[in-house]
Structure 1
Amino acid sequence: MKRTQVALLAALEALIALAISVGVLVVPATLIWAIGTGFSEFWSLFWRSSVDFWLLGHGVHLNVELSADTVAPFGLAGASDPFVLSLAPIGITALVIWLAYRSGTRSADSGHPITALIAGTVTYALLSCGVVFTSGSEIISTDRVTGLIFPPLIFAAAMALGLVVARYRAGERFPLDTLPERLGEPRSTIAFASLRGGALASGALIGVAGLLTAILLLVNYPLIIGLYETTELGVGGGIVITLAQLLYLPTLIIWAASWLIGPGFAVGANSIFSPLGTVAGPLPALPVFGVLPSSSSPLTWILLIVPILCGFLAGLWIRRRRVESGELSMGEGAITAAGSAVVAGVLLGLLAWFAAGAFGPGRLAEMGPTAWLVGLVFAGEILVGALIGLVSGRSVETVEEPRFLSGVSER
Structure 2
Amino acid sequence: MALTLFPLSFIALFAWSTAGSATGNTSDPIRAAIWLWLGGHLVPFKLSLASGFSSGALSYLPIGAAIFPWLALRSGFRRASEFLLNPRGARSFIVIWYTAIATIAAILSQSENIKPNLLLAPIYVAAIALSATINFTSPMFERFKFLGYSFLSLIGLATLLVAISMVLHFQIVKSLAIVIQPGIMGGILFTILQLLYLPNLALAALSYLFGTGFTLGLGTQISPTNIDLNSLPAIPLLGSLPTAEHPLLLISLLIPALMILGNQIAIFHRYQEFAVRQREVFKTILPLFIFLALISLFAGGTLLTQDMDPVGISWWNLLAVFAVIQSATLIIGLYIPKLIKLIKARKSEI
Please tell me the TM-score bracket, short chain as reference.
0.7 to 0.9
Match of 1:21, SS state, is: helix
Q: Does 1:367 align with 2:308?
A: no
- Pairs aligned (count): 332
How far, CA to CA, are the matches of 2:200 and 2:254 in structure 1? 22
Deviations, residues 49-73 of structure 1 (Å, cap 9, x unaligned): 34223323334331111223xxxxx
Q: Is the 8 A contact 1:262 1:274 kept in 2?
A: yes
Specify the code of the residue in structure 1 equivalent to 2:240: V
Question: What residue number does 1:49 align with?
Answer: 32
How far, CA to CA, are the matches of 2:67 and 2:45 in structure 1? 20
Question: What residue number does 2:178 align with?
Answer: 229
Alignment of 1:86-235 (within 5 A): 86-110=59-83, 111-125=85-99, 127-129=101-103, 131-147=105-121, 149-150=122-123, 152-162=125-135, 165=136, 168=138, 193=143, 195-235=144-184
Q: Is the 8 A contact 1:312 1:388 kept in 2?
A: no
Mark the CA change 1:203 to 1:334 in structure 2 (over 3 Å): closer, same or farther.
Answer: farther
Alignment of 1:224-373 (within 5 A): 224-315=173-264, 317-318=266-267, 323=269, 327-329=270-272, 333=277, 336-337=280-281, 340-373=284-317
Deviations, residues 354-410 of structure 1 (Å, cap 9, x unaligned): 2111112222121121222431222223555799999xxxxxxxxxxxxxxxxxxxx
Specify the code of the residue in structure 2 equivalent to 1:112: N
Q: Does 1:61 align with 2:44?
A: yes
Match of 1:161, SS state, is: coil
Match of 1:63, SS state, is: strand
Specify the code of the residue in structure 2 equivalent to 1:368: G
Match of 2:46, SS state, is: strand
How far, CA to CA, are the matches of 1:318 and 1:242 in structure 2? 44
How far, CA to CA, are the matches of 1:306 and 1:287 in structure 2? 29
Task: List structure 1 runs of 4+ shifted beyond 6 angstroms.
Answer: 385-390
How far, CA to CA, are the matches of 2:43 and 2:15 in structure 1? 25
Specify the code of the residue in structure 1 equivalent to 2:259: C
How far, CA to CA, are the matches of 1:339 and 1:350 in structure 2? 18
Specify the code of the residue in structure 2 equivalent to 1:350: L
Q: CA deviation at 1:342?
A: 4.6
Question: What residue number does 2:341 align with?
Answer: none
Superposed CA RMSD: 3.5
Deviations, residues 79-115 of structure 1 (Å, cap 9, x unaligned): 7111222123212223222332343344444422233
Q: CA deviation at 1:217?
A: 3.6
Q: Does 1:376 align with 2:320?
A: yes
Match of 1:273, SS state, is: strand
Specify the code of the residue in structure 1 equivalent to 2:110: G
Which TM-score applies when normalising by structure 2?
0.79
Which TM-score applies when normalising by structure 1?
0.68
Specify the code of the residue in structure 2 equivalent to 1:113: P
Question: What residue number does 1:80 align with?
Answer: 53
Q: CA deviation at 1:290?
A: 0.9
How far, CA to CA, are the matches of 1:28 and 1:225 in structure 2? 27
Which is greater in Rg?
A: 1
How far, CA to CA, are the matches of 1:158 and 1:40 in structure 2? 41
Mark the CA change 1:121 to 1:328 in structure 2 (over 3 Å): closer, same or farther.
Answer: closer
Question: What residue number does 2:13 align with?
Answer: 30
Specify the code of the residue in structure 2 equivalent to 1:328: Y
Report the identity percentage: 25
Q: Is the 8 A contact 1:104 1:161 kept in 2?
A: no
How far, CA to CA, are the matches of 2:294 and 2:12 in structure 1? 32
Q: Is the 8 A contact 1:311 1:381 kept in 2?
A: yes
Specify the code of the residue in structure 2 equivalent to 1:235: I
Mark the CA change 1:120 to 1:342 in structure 2 (over 3 Å): closer, same or farther.
Answer: closer
Q: CA deviation at 1:151?
A: 5.7
Q: Is the 8 A contact 1:57 1:93 kept in 2?
A: yes
Q: Is the 8 A contact 1:33 1:39 kept in 2?
A: no
* Structure 2 unaligned blocks of 5 or more: 335-350
How far, CA to CA, are the matches of 1:344 and 1:276 in structure 2? 27
Mark the CA change 1:230 to 1:85 in structure 2 (over 3 Å): closer, same or farther.
Answer: same
